[in-house]
Amino acid sequence: MKQSLRCLSLAPSRSTSPTNGFTAASAEPSHPYAGLTRSSPVGILLRLGLILTTLLILGVFLVLPLVVVFAEAFRQGWHVYCAAISNPEALAAVRLSLSVTALCVAINTAFGLSAAWCLSKYRFFGRNALISLIDLPLSISPVVVGLLLILVYGQHGWLGAILERWGVRVIFAFPGIVLATAFVTLPLVVREVKTLMETEGSEEEEAARLLGANGWQIFYHVTLPKIRWALLYGVILCTARSLGEFGAVSVVSGHIRGFTVTLPLYVELLYNEYQFSAAFAVASLLTGVGLVTLVVKTVWQHRINRKLNRGQDCLFEEASFPCASK
């Protein structure tokens, strides 16, 4: 560390060195926003305008609808609210949503870890195409995803007819809802874990392999502690999206009350039947889960950013040692 600091202290200053051609006086006029400094009147007005515009947009499009949801949910009192969320159909929707979310998170966590390991540790032909293919669910409309699943797993679909002969029904049943939700949330864990794996590198895994550790020991004792925050962050995103997924699930569920109706679908059914208080009460449950997820996600993201910054500092220090040894 001392050698690194000595190297930094011996490095020529960019603003004062007359030989490198980058003096402070010569650099400022070339900056495209030189006239919009933080202390100038134009800069202050611009900053205030951008802040107020952002707050106005967030208040109108995000905060106000959230306030309306909770206000409408409790407008007729706690008795109506509790009756709405304790309805047998509402409880069935809660159980179905939680079951689907648990399965999708498990599937995407297993797939995300294996895919992130493969994409970050190895270079092979078609790697970039595979990365683009994993991101495909983010660019396709969920409704289209539901239609594609019906074409493949429907009663007259490519695989659905075969599965029907074996007594397995996918569409308009629990497996179809799990497939649709898992498809939509597929990239969430992979993207988070892969980014951190590529940043951390594989030097520690190679060192553990040289020390005689097997594959499971390397993953459990070396890789997993390094990526745990990114993994948890991906799991949180996957949980939130699975609970709130509507489009793809709406197409493949069949809207069978008590069997294939998840919480978002149940809110839509109640609203279409003019049961507004019950609809907003159930919607407030989803909104509350979303807000809690947002808070947890923010804390996890802060930890990941701090870990990434610490990793960059370590890389910078390692890069400074050769300079200091000269």
The string of pLDDT tens digits covering residues 78-110 is 888 888 888 899 999 999 999 999 999 999 999
Domain ranges of the chain: 41-74, 77-316
Asked if 270 and 279 count as a contact pair (C-beta separation under 8 A), the reply is yes
Place of tokens 């106005």: 56
Q: Which residues contact 198 (CB under 8 A, 6 or more apart)?
A: 120
The string of pLDDT tens digits covering residues 231-272 is 888 898 899 899 889 989 999 988 888 889 999 999 999 999
Distance between CA 6 and CA 11 in Å, rounded?
9
C-alpha torsion sign, points 305, 224, 97, 260: positive
- Looking at residue 74, the DSSP 8-state letter turns out to be T
Alpha carbon of 111 to those of 151, 217, 235: distances in Å?
24, 19, 12
77-316 adopts what CATH topology? MetI-like fold (1.10.3720)
Q: What confidence score (pLDDT) does residue 158 get?
A: 84
Residue 165 reports pLDDT greater than 90: no
Asked if 131 and 249 count as a contact pair (C-beta separation under 8 A), the reply is no
CB atoms within 10 A of CB 157: 18
Residue 308: pLDDT band (50, 70, 90) is low
Distance between CA 292 and CA 294 in Å, rounded?
5
Q: What confidence score (pLDDT) does residue 313 get?
A: 57
Distance between CA 283 and CA 70 in Å, rounded?
9
Asked if 87 and 258 count as a contact pair (C-beta separation under 8 A), the reply is no
The pTM (predicted TM-score) of the whole model is: 0.74
Residue 168 reports pLDDT greater than 90: no
Residue 157 reports pLDDT greater than 50: yes
Q: What confidence score (pLDDT) does residue 310 get?
A: 64
